[in-house]
Structure 1
Amino acid sequence: MLKAKNKLGLVFFPAFDWAISPTHPEREERLLYTQDQIFEEGIEDIQGIEFFNPILADE
Protein backbone atom coordinates (compact mmCIF):
# COMPACT_ATOMS: atom_id res chain seq x y z
CA MET A 1 0.00 0.00 0.00
CA LEU A 2 1.22 3.48 -0.84
CA LYS A 3 1.72 6.03 1.92
CA ALA A 4 1.71 9.80 1.48
CA LYS A 5 4.89 11.59 2.54
CA ASN A 6 2.78 14.31 4.20
CA LYS A 7 -0.82 14.34 5.37
CA LEU A 8 -3.32 15.73 2.89
CA GLY A 9 -7.01 16.47 3.22
CA LEU A 10 -9.34 16.86 0.24
CA VAL A 11 -12.81 18.36 0.44
CA PHE A 12 -15.47 17.65 -2.16
CA PHE A 13 -18.92 19.15 -1.91
CA PRO A 14 -21.61 19.75 -4.54
CA ALA A 15 -21.67 23.46 -3.68
CA PHE A 16 -18.15 23.64 -5.16
CA ASP A 17 -19.55 22.63 -8.57
CA TRP A 18 -20.26 26.13 -9.73
CA ALA A 19 -20.06 27.86 -13.06
CA ILE A 20 -18.08 31.11 -12.92
CA SER A 21 -17.85 31.72 -16.67
CA PRO A 22 -17.27 29.50 -19.72
CA THR A 23 -13.65 30.66 -20.08
CA HIS A 24 -12.65 30.80 -16.40
CA PRO A 25 -9.82 28.33 -15.50
CA GLU A 26 -11.90 26.96 -12.62
CA ARG A 27 -14.92 26.22 -14.75
CA GLU A 28 -17.20 23.43 -13.63
CA GLU A 29 -16.18 20.75 -16.15
CA ARG A 30 -12.48 21.08 -15.24
CA LEU A 31 -13.21 20.77 -11.52
CA LEU A 32 -15.45 17.73 -12.08
CA TYR A 33 -12.87 16.13 -14.40
CA THR A 34 -10.14 16.62 -11.79
CA GLN A 35 -12.34 15.05 -9.12
CA ASP A 36 -13.10 12.08 -11.39
CA GLN A 37 -9.39 11.57 -12.12
CA ILE A 38 -8.52 11.60 -8.41
CA PHE A 39 -10.92 8.74 -7.78
CA GLU A 40 -10.04 6.90 -11.00
CA GLU A 41 -6.34 6.89 -10.08
CA GLY A 42 -7.10 5.47 -6.64
CA ILE A 43 -5.82 8.43 -4.65
CA GLU A 44 -8.34 7.69 -1.90
CA ASP A 45 -6.52 4.39 -1.23
CA ILE A 46 -3.24 6.09 -0.29
CA GLN A 47 -2.61 6.12 3.44
CA GLY A 48 -2.28 9.68 4.75
CA ILE A 49 -4.79 11.20 2.33
CA GLU A 50 -8.13 11.89 3.95
CA PHE A 51 -11.34 12.87 2.20
CA PHE A 52 -13.87 15.13 3.88
CA ASN A 53 -17.52 15.25 2.88
CA PRO A 54 -18.97 18.26 4.69
CA ILE A 55 -22.63 18.87 5.31
CA LEU A 56 -24.54 22.14 5.15
CA ALA A 57 -24.58 24.08 8.40
CA ASP A 58 -27.86 24.85 10.09
CA GLU A 59 -28.80 28.50 10.21
Structure 2
Amino acid sequence: MEYVNIWVENEEKGTTSALDGTFSFDQNVQSQTLIFSAIGYESKSVMVLSNNSPCPVYFSL
Protein backbone atom coordinates (compact mmCIF):
# COMPACT_ATOMS: atom_id res chain seq x y z
CA MET A 1 0.00 0.00 0.00
CA GLU A 2 1.46 3.37 -0.96
CA TYR A 3 1.95 6.44 1.25
CA VAL A 4 1.71 4.60 4.57
CA ASN A 5 3.38 6.45 7.46
CA ILE A 6 5.75 4.15 9.34
CA TRP A 7 7.68 4.97 12.49
CA VAL A 8 9.55 3.28 15.30
CA GLU A 9 7.55 3.30 18.53
CA ASN A 10 8.86 5.82 21.12
CA GLU A 11 11.54 7.15 18.73
CA GLU A 12 11.86 9.87 16.12
CA LYS A 13 12.65 7.46 13.26
CA GLY A 14 10.05 7.42 10.51
CA THR A 15 9.41 7.06 6.80
CA THR A 16 6.62 6.74 4.21
CA SER A 17 6.04 3.75 1.94
CA ALA A 18 6.69 4.08 -1.80
CA LEU A 19 4.13 3.58 -4.59
CA ASP A 20 4.80 -0.17 -4.53
CA GLY A 21 4.38 -0.35 -0.73
CA THR A 22 8.06 -0.84 0.06
CA PHE A 23 9.96 1.16 2.66
CA SER A 24 13.32 1.18 4.41
CA PHE A 25 15.10 2.80 7.33
CA ASP A 26 18.66 4.14 7.25
CA GLN A 27 19.31 2.71 10.71
CA ASN A 28 18.86 -0.69 12.31
CA VAL A 29 15.33 -1.22 13.72
CA GLN A 30 15.82 -4.83 14.79
CA SER A 31 13.75 -5.99 17.79
CA GLN A 32 11.61 -2.86 17.87
CA THR A 33 7.94 -2.09 17.23
CA LEU A 34 6.94 -0.32 14.03
CA ILE A 35 3.68 1.64 13.82
CA PHE A 36 1.89 1.77 10.45
CA SER A 37 -0.71 4.46 9.81
CA ALA A 38 -2.74 5.33 6.71
CA ILE A 39 -5.76 7.57 6.23
CA GLY A 40 -8.98 5.55 6.30
CA TYR A 41 -7.37 2.49 7.92
CA GLU A 42 -6.78 1.35 11.49
CA SER A 43 -3.19 1.83 12.68
CA LYS A 44 -1.11 -1.32 13.13
CA SER A 45 1.77 -2.14 15.49
CA VAL A 46 4.23 -4.82 14.36
CA MET A 47 7.25 -6.16 16.27
CA VAL A 48 10.27 -6.38 13.94
CA LEU A 49 12.73 -9.13 14.79
CA SER A 50 15.07 -8.77 11.80
CA ASN A 51 15.85 -6.04 9.26
CA ASN A 52 16.27 -8.55 6.45
CA SER A 53 13.06 -10.57 6.63
CA PRO A 54 9.90 -9.56 4.73
CA CYS A 55 7.04 -8.85 7.09
CA PRO A 56 3.57 -8.50 5.54
CA VAL A 57 1.24 -6.07 7.30
CA TYR A 58 -2.53 -6.27 6.81
CA PHE A 59 -4.79 -3.25 7.27
CA SER A 60 -8.49 -3.02 8.18
CA LEU A 61 -10.92 -0.28 7.25
TM-score by length of 1: 0.22
Q: Which has the higher helix share?
A: 1
More relative contact order, 1 or 2 (CA 8 Å, 6+ apart) = 1
TM-score by length of 2: 0.22
